[in-house]
Amino acid sequence: MKRSANKQVSPKAAATLILITLIIIQVVWYKGLVFKEKPSGIKGGGGGGGGGVPPPPLVGLKEVNVDTFAGATDPGDADGGRATARFNSPVGIALDSQGNLYVADSRNHRVRRVTPQGKTTTLAGSVQGYADGAAQTAQFNLPCGVAAGTDGAIYVADTGNHRIRKIKDGQVTTLAGDAQGFAEGAGSQVKFNTPCAIATDGKLLYVSDTLNKRIRILDLTGKITGGWQTPTSPTGVLIDKQVVVVAPQTGITAQGGSPLLNIPIDSKGLSANPADYVIHSPVALCKAPEGWFATDSIHHGVFFIKGGKAELIAGQCKPKEVIDGWRDGDGHHANFGSLSGIAWDGKTRVYVSDTSDNCIRILDINQVLTGRRETLP
């Protein structure tokens, strides 16, 4: 028998060897000698527009808190508290002077009211169709726009019926519109083509007559008093010193259709330079402290617009990548589906309708307003 065949490894030596190996692995791991974390693109300067380095993601503010105000991701049709209410593709929203939120619950063919405490009731509407009368039996067809009048009335862009409807004292009436088309006049002489949004200054109604590519102006009796053509199909309208129009294809323009702000549309997704971040597809606007808030349905985020610049306050945008879905949290981590309507209560609450997630989300901007913004990483 050969001598080498009888050689046996000492158990002590084996244990020592294993122990030393484990210690080496631990040291390498802790020191990061092998798996070094790659530096973040944000601080590294994403400028320059290319060079093979993907641009950094654009994220909202940590100081903004995003919560679900009413409804849930599963579509449905139910009144009730925050957790029990259900919507089906909510679109336009508007606030009245008491802080009640009105929702154009489009696929439920209803107009809903949500109190500031989050309790949802049906204001008007029953099944899909067209019928005036008592609010609970009246019929709408895919309503997409609402506006709260100073007279206590709620005005509805009844999009699928191509009409403007009025809800007051439990009754629904047709203010203007008849069949799909284009015609001036008053009441049933007027024709709209898929009106998607409506706003009021208390004296006049401004309607985004979307497929007619026009803003129509009506008095409160339903008579057309003016309007103008827009370059593309408008989906949002806001009265703020002047009439501001939102159109997903052309951005935000002022009365007459001339560009109001340098907020271009980025058709290819986010550019590489963070300074160039732009709204991709704005669909609705509301007033904000010293500016406006806007929803972007393609970037799935809420923007603050001031002085010609757009800043993402909630949501996450990645170049060439859609980050959508429902997630509450701070504005840095929150996700949205396809956003449409937006409304600000004049204080600390911004409401947005998360249409594809079938719910109303609420943004608490108190910390932003009080200037306690942290520096973003």
Closest CA to 263 of 299, 294, 225: 294
Nearer to other proteins (CB atom), residue 123 or residue 298: 298
Nearer to other proteins (CB atom), residue 75 or residue 274: 75
Q: In this structure, what DSSP letter does residue 243 have? A: E
- Contact residues for 324 (Cβ-Cβ < 8 A; gap 6+): 300, 335, 336, 337, 338, 356
DSSP codes, 42-100: TTT--TTS-TTPPPPPEE--TT-EEEEEEE-SS---B-BSTTT-B-SSEEEEEE-TTS-
Which residue of 42, 67, 75, 289 would you call a contact of other proteins, by CB under 8 A?
A: 75
Considering only 50-58, 182-190, 216-224, 337-345, which stretch makes contact with other proteins by CB under 8 A?
337-345
Q: Is 170 helix (H, G, I), strand (E, B) or coil?
A: coil
Place of tokens 């799935």: 300
Which residue of 249, 259, 370, 373 would you call a contact of other proteins, by CB under 8 A?
A: 249
The residue count for binding other proteins (CB under 8 A) is 38
Which residue of 122, 126, 139, 159 would you call a contact of other proteins, by CB under 8 A?
A: 159
What is d(CA 342, CA 285) in angstroms, rounded to the nearest whole number? 6
What is d(CA 178, CA 164) in angstroms, rounded to the nearest whole number? 9
Nearer to other proteins (CB atom), residue 192 or residue 367: 192
Q: Does residue 107 belong to the site contacting other proteins (CB under 8 A)?
A: yes
Let me know: does 199 contact 237? Beta carbons within 8 Å: yes
Q: Is 158 helix (H, G, I), strand (E, B) or coil?
A: strand
Q: In this structure, what DSSP letter does residue 24 have? A: H
Q: Does residue 230 belong to the site contacting other proteins (CB under 8 A)?
A: no
Let me know: does 210 contact 162? Beta carbons within 8 Å: no
DSSP codes, 304-316: EEETTEEEEEESE
Query: Which structure tokens are listed for 371?
Result: 């200037």
What is d(CA 261, CA 270) in angstroms, rounded to the nearest whole number? 19
Considering only 9-17, 237-245, 332-340, 365-373, which stretch makes contact with other proteins by CB under 8 A?
332-340
Nearer to other proteins (CB atom), residue 159 or residue 253: 159
Let me know: does 85 contact 76? Beta carbons within 8 Å: no
Which residue of 118, 356, 360, 367 would you call a contact of other proteins, by CB under 8 A?
A: 356
Considering only 26-34, 83-91, 252-260, 309-317, which stretch makes contact with other proteins by CB under 8 A?
83-91
Considering only 40-48, 113-121, 219-227, 334-342, which stretch makes contact with other proteins by CB under 8 A?
334-342
Nearer to other proteins (CB atom), residue 316 or residue 338: 338
Show the binding pattern over residues 19-58: x = contacts other proteins (CB under 8 A), - = does not: ----------------------------------------
Q: Does residue 156 belong to the site contacting other proteins (CB under 8 A)?
A: no
Nearer to other proteins (CB atom), residue 28 or residue 127: 127
What is d(CA 199, CA 126) in angstroms, rounded to the nearest whole number? 24
Show the binding pattern over residues 183-222: x = contacts other proteins (CB under 8 A), - = does not: -----------x-x-------------xx-----------
Which residue of 230, 337, 342, 344 would you call a contact of other proteins, by CB under 8 A?
A: 337
Which residue of 139, 200, 281, 367 would you call a contact of other proteins, by CB under 8 A?
A: 281
Contact footprint for other proteins (CB under 8 A): 73-76, 88-89, 91, 106-107, 127-128, 142, 144, 159-160, 194, 196, 210-211, 233, 235, 248-249, 281, 283, 297-298, 324-326, 337-340, 355-358
